[in-house]
Chains A and B, each alone.
Chain A
Amino acid sequence: MDSAQLLLSGFGAALALDNLLYAFVGCILGTVVGILPGLGPVSATAILIPLTFHLSKTGAIIMLAAIYYGAMYGGTITSVLINVPGETASVITCIDGYQMARKGRAGAALSIAAIGSFIGGTVAMLGLVIAAPPLARKALEFGPPELFGMMVLGLSLIMGLAGKSLVKGLMMGMLGLFLSMVGMEVGEGIPRFTFDSIQLMRGIDFIAILIGLFGISEILLNAGKPSSSVLQAKMTSLVPTRQDVKDSAWPIARGTVLGFFLGLIPGLGTAIPTIISYVTEKKLSKHPERFGNGAIEGVAGPETANNSYANAAFIPLLTLGIPSSPTIAVLMGAFMMNGVTPGPLLFRDHAPLVWTVIASMYVGNVILLVLNLPLIPMWVSILRIPYSILFTLILLFTVVGAYSLNNQIFDVGVMVFFGVIGYVLRKLDFPLAPIALTLILGPIMENSLRQSMSMSQGSFLIFFQRPVAAAFLALAVVVLVTTGIGLARSARRDSEV
């Protein structure tokens, strides 16, 4: 059967009124769920079971898929508006997106994010239709050594994020690594830095740390200022300017490609493509110093990569039956509860269903765009609420969000603690971004190193025997050397602290 033919009939089914409604409701639910930190998989699961009792097979799957990619955008909204990351990937958007909001450009940031997400998602779906099964299988060859190489490359690119002072940036990077090491070490199951506390044994939740460092510190900083000067920046534009669009074009293109290929690799998570897009954009930019102060490229690239990844991550699920994230695992559960087992035989045995779902995802991406763009003025107007009420609402939101991550009051405490830490660090002019990045990438790097060593029984040669891994490591060396040279040059020019 011709793929195009199948896709067309899939569209026919997807655009049926009831399926359209499910996609629509799913997008709304997803956006709402995505706004609240830590809710994704839990709510999806809680909704899943009653749903499958009441909806048709197809309907339930369509709605769940819509919730999944709808949730991606929800996290963007809170990152841009109030500097609160909904999930680890969203923290990247906090870095430049929130700065744009402070300059009154929240609308532009949200718009570009929505448009970029749409482009990334749609192209990823196109990629799925054209190239899915062979690519997905090739991606399975991406193992621990390759992942380690990629992490080393990512961490070396982070050096460029240090901002004015390399020393302070590196110190923050080390701090992030320290925090990521608290908990059970994966290789041997030994607790590290846990002081015999069961709460520390499960590892400090990264999102709780980040909400505290970024969101709570912001509130504390604003509290310390006389109320007249808290920036309620005039909304200078709800729409991106022509310059914005020009600046975003290449980041969006790069983000799409990056997100797509990374989506083929099972289990990477949204954080990695987002981070890599950000550091790549900064490295390639002609004005890297703008990053961290409201550079639209810092929003366009990562947000696109995010969504492109999220859509591409369906490929391993549909072609091989491998879920790339907890929420996709819930989706897989939905398939299975309807008697459909994702995997190599899915396209053969359940073609109509699969193509309907794929078509529905196209439709869903459009719905998201149509839904979100007009809503941006509404979201931005949240910033018009008098700060004396808004700050209380933000605190309520973060307390609930932090608790809902793991149903632990301890996480709320973590958030408050790191709110104070974030306040102090920002007062002392330390950059927060490196903490977030080493926090997220550090454990993956250590883990993949351990795994690679287990595979090779202690030999480092494994990294040179596998071409992709070796390539990543070589690139990392190049990056480190060029960054080092660049820094030495600028250090000689001015001895800045």
Chain B
Amino acid sequence: MTLRRGYQVAALFFVGLGLFMIWESRTLKYYTVLGPGAGFLPFWVGAILAGLSVVWLVQVTVGRAIDTPEDFIPTSAGARNIFSILGALVLCVALLKSLGFSLTMLGFLAFLLHALGRQGLFVTVVVSVAGSFGVRYVFEQWLGVFLPKASIPFLTSLGL
């Protein structure tokens, strides 16, 4: 996977986005009695984006050679890190509503600290508890911000 290939894929994506915008804008009013309507800007932004992307696609395809930087593709260890973090984040977002802030973040932090950060048990436990239950307490009591609560009845009755 070279940088040039990456550029080309991105260019195609943006062309697609631009065309999508033009397509969606057809249901909106382009121009009204009072000047540009809701569809005016989407149409033109889409058109400009698509146009520029095509120009750029041509530039990277037939233009000068493009050097792919050494660290363009992450190492397998690096890729594993990235996917772990992303996976943890996605899981966190998915579980916040049902498990509530305290439990979800406890697991999230513990995973990141122990599995990825290779921290010892002590640091993991202290930071995870402080970052989940501790943060929840501070925000609720001192700042008036109520972080997500669990929606599973059993957990709700525990006050989580």
A residues whose Cβ falls under 8 Å from a Cβ of B: 33, 39, 42-43, 45-47, 167-168, 170-171, 174-175, 177-178, 181, 185, 187-188, 190, 192-193, 216, 219-220, 223-226, 388-389, 391-393, 395-396, 399-400, 403-404, 407, 409, 412-413, 416, 419-420, 423-424, 427-430, 446, 449-450, 453-454, 457-458, 460, 495, 497
| Pairwise interchain contact B113-A181, C-beta atoms closer than 8 A | no
What are 23 A-B contacts with C-beta separation under 8 Å?
A43-B144, A167-B59, A174-B52, A178-B17, A187-B34, A219-B85, A223-B78, A225-B71, A388-B116, A389-B127, A391-B117, A395-B112, A399-B92, A409-B93, A412-B93, A413-B93, A416-B90, A428-B6, A449-B35, A450-B36, A458-B34, A458-B35, A495-B63
Residues of B within 8 Å of A450, CB to CB, are: 34-36
Q: In the complex, what distance in Å separates the CA atom of A226 from the CA atom of B3?
A: 20
Taken residue by residue from 1 to 41, chain B's Cβ proximity to chain A (1 for < 8 Å, 0 otherwise) reads as 00100110010001001100100100011001111111001
Chain B min CB distance to A38 (Å): 9
Residues of A within 8 Å of B21, CB to CB, are: 178, 193
Those of B47-84 within 8 Å (CB) of chain A: 48-49, 52-53, 55-56, 59-60, 63-64, 66, 71-72, 74-75, 77-79, 81-82
Chain A min CB distance to B5 (Å): 11
Q: In the complex, what distance in Å separates the CA atom of A178 from the CA atom of B19?
A: 12
Q: Report the nearest B residue to A47, measured CB to CB.
A: B144
Chain B min CB distance to A457 (Å): 6
Interface residues of B, dominant DSSP: helix
Residues of A within 8 Å of B146, CB to CB, are: 407
| Pairwise interchain contact B144-A428, C-beta atoms closer than 8 A | no
Q: A388-B117, A409-B148 are in contact. Are A181 and B41 (CB under 8 A)?
A: yes
Q: In the complex, what distance in Å separates the CA atom of A460 from the CA atom of B35?
A: 8
Q: In the complex, what distance in Å separates the CA atom of A192 from the CA atom of B14?
A: 19
| Pairwise interchain contact A167-B144, C-beta atoms closer than 8 A | no
B residues whose Cβ falls under 8 Å from a Cβ of A: 3, 6-7, 10, 14, 17-18, 21, 24, 28-29, 32-38, 41-42, 45-46, 48-49, 52-53, 55-56, 59-60, 63-64, 66, 71-72, 74-75, 77-79, 81-82, 85-86, 89-90, 92-93, 96-97, 105, 108-109, 112-113, 116-119, 123, 127, 131, 135, 139, 143-148
Interface residues of A, dominant DSSP: helix
| Pairwise interchain contact B86-A46, C-beta atoms closer than 8 A | no
Residues of B within 8 Å of A43, CB to CB, are: 143-145
A171 touches which of B35, B53, B81, B135 (Cβ 8 Å)? B53
6 A-B pairs with least C-beta separation: A46-B144, A453-B35, A224-B74, A388-B117, A224-B78, A174-B49
B10 touches which of A42, A407, A416, A428 (Cβ 8 Å)? A428
Q: In the complex, what distance in Å separates the CA atom of A192 from the CA atom of B20?
A: 12
| Pairwise interchain contact A226-B86, C-beta atoms closer than 8 A | no
| Pairwise interchain contact A192-B49, C-beta atoms closer than 8 A | no
| Pairwise interchain contact A388-B24, C-beta atoms closer than 8 A | no
Chain A min CB distance to B25 (Å): 8
Residues of A within 8 Å of B89, CB to CB, are: 216, 395, 399, 416, 419
B96 touches which of A223, A409, A453 (Cβ 8 Å)? A409
| Pairwise interchain contact B33-A458, C-beta atoms closer than 8 A | yes
Q: In the complex, what distance in Å separates the CA atom of A391 from the CA atom of B77?
A: 17
